[in-house]
Amino acid sequence: MANSNAVTFIQAFKNIIPPLGNKLHKGQAGRLAVIGGSLEYTGAPYFAAISALKAGCDLVHVFCVKDAATVIKGYSPELIVHPILDSTDCLEQLKQWLPKFQAVTVGPGLGRQEGTLKMVAEIIGEVRKLDLPMVVDADGLFLIGQRPDLIQNYGKAVLTPNAMEFSRLYTSIMEEELAPQNDPDPQKVVRLARQLGSCILLKSQRDIISDGEMAVSCEVHGSPRRSGGQGDILSGSSMTFLHWCFNCDKWLEDMEMYPSNPAVLATYAACVLTRTSARLAFEKYRRSTTATNAIEHIQAAFEQTF
């Protein structure tokens, strides 16, 4: 799908946004989970979780290590925080919670402790058993580079690497050296997505999305200020939109208007929202723009876009 059809994509997404109304109950627009957060990295899971809420879901739970929990709770009372990732019965506790969720993000602020990564590998297996849409970001991508079998042929998984992370994944999985590129070849994204059997969203000068069959480019103007945390905004909003798209029956009503894989539409919409939020924030804060400023503008970006 080419950029000339971007308007069609935006219109398609507008048609599946859950309408607001007095008859809705809490959780209907999304009960989601972020798996991540370590002693050193507490901001990333917060950014992802709060962005999912700001994008329109109802509830977000964060599952992190014990030392990160109090800090993340202190960022916002809106988030439900579980300090269990480093507990001995983590998997058993999570098995009780996972069936309650409709989408999951794995990786923000996760860290690379061997024990944590081993636990997260098992969690990904449980997510697949429940057939939940899943975003894999940050250190979750490091894990996939070591264990691509974890998401092999799982069409509801979306990997969100930046240029450096993509080059590492491509080199490792395709066994072909690839240097990081500011303007990457879309066919490389298609090849890797086809090899993995999952969707890839490559964050770069232009965002490229592929499910192994098609490549979609998002070139909406964003912010020239590249502060940390914008990728977490993208992963959080993608999680919300994945839930909306995979739980919508409109693909059955009008197949020509929608891509064959709902993940492509969800991630494209999240790219547009994230870039627009960052641009609006930059127009106000200029060189001082941070991820927090972009989050403040999610609602304005949502209304402007959708």
Helix, strand, coil percent values for the chain (each to nearest 5): 55, 15, 35
- Residue 270's contacts (CB-CB under 8 Å, 6 or more residues apart) are 55, 201, 234, 237, 238, 240, 241
Please tell me whether 231 is known to bind a ligand. Answer: yes
Asked if residues 108 and 232 have their Cβ atoms less than 8 Å apart, the reply is: yes
Please tell me whether 230 is known to bind a ligand. Answer: yes
Q: What is the DSSP code (8-state) at residue 31?
A: E
Please tell me whether 237 is known to bind a ligand. Answer: no
Please tell me whether 225 is known to bind a ligand. Answer: yes
Please tell me whether 69 is known to bind a ligand. Answer: no
CA–CA gap between residue 212 and residue 194 (Å, rounded): 4
Please tell me whether 232 is known to bind a ligand. Answer: yes
Please tell me whether 13 is known to bind a ligand. Answer: no
Asked if residues 137 and 232 have their Cβ atoms less than 8 Å apart, the reply is: yes
Please tell me whether 146 is known to bind a ligand. Answer: no
Please tell me whether 166 is known to bind a ligand. Answer: yes
Please tell me whether 236 is known to bind a ligand. Answer: no
Please tell me whether 210 is known to bind a ligand. Answer: no
CA–CA gap between residue 234 and residue 246 (Å, rounded): 18
| 3-class DSSP assignment, residue 85 | coil
CA–CA gap between residue 254 and residue 212 (Å, rounded): 22
Please tell me whether 162 is known to bind a ligand. Answer: yes
Please tell me whether 181 is known to bind a ligand. Answer: no
Please tell me whether 204 is known to bind a ligand. Answer: yes
Handedness of CA 119, 92, 60, 216 (dihedral sign): positive
Please tell me whether 226 is known to bind a ligand. Answer: yes
Please tell me whether 227 is known to bind a ligand. Answer: yes
CA–CA gap between residue 220 and residue 162 (Å, rounded): 17
Please tell me whether 279 is known to bind a ligand. Answer: no
Please tell me whether 241 is known to bind a ligand. Answer: no
Please tell me whether 147 is known to bind a ligand. Answer: no
Please tell me whether 194 is known to bind a ligand. Answer: no
Could you list the residues known to form a binding site for ATP, using ranges.
203-207, 222-231
Could you list the residues known to form a binding site for (6S)-NADPHX, using ranges.
109, 162-168, 232
Could you list the residues known to form a binding site, using ranges.
109, 162-168, 203-207, 222-232
